[in-house]
Structure 1
Amino acid sequence: MAKYSVPPEQHESELSLVQLRGDSARMVPHWVAPAQAAPAPVSPALIHGVVVPPASARLIDATPEYGA
């Protein structure tokens, strides 16, 4: 079991937040992720086998942002 040197007058939640922010700031340079290329678009002719239930199609059709 790990022991932490925590002054008794500090609340655990306050200390934990301060420690988390400090640890995160120190780790930022180590979290470099390689850039990923955007997936290539797929031709609609290659999309097959998708089944949309009628209730779902009506719901989307009735939504102003998506429906016509």
Structure 2
Amino acid sequence: MTNSTPAPAFRDPDFTLAQLRGDCVRMAPHWPMAARVVPAPVPPSSIRGVVVPPVSVRLVGGLPGFG
């Protein structure tokens, strides 16, 4: 089945973000979601070979939430 009617965003220059969001909300139930996969935790002792450049360490260390 093909739809020969262009989407409103392409034929109406006044199409708003609110209208687009409304269209997305109406279409969301039609899109299936994959089952959420939660990865198993990994103990820090098994993480080896990760190299973090000193500049990145300083950057993250300077962030209020991580420093």
TM-score by length of 1: 0.56
Q: Using CA pairs under 8 Å that are at least 6 residues apart, name the structure with larger relative contact order, 1 or 2.
A: 2
Gaps (5+ residues) in structure 1?
Answer: 6-10
Match of 1:61 in 2: 61
Match of 2:13 in 1: 13
Percent identical residues? 39
Q: How many pairs does the alignment contain?
A: 60
1:34-53 equivalent positions in 2, closer than 5 A: 34-53=34-53
What SS is found at the alignment partner of 1:60? helix
Gaps (5+ residues) in structure 2?
Answer: none
State the superposition RMSD in angstroms.
Answer: 3.4
Residue 35 of structure 1: how far off its partner (Å): 2.4
- Higher alpha-carbon Rg: 1
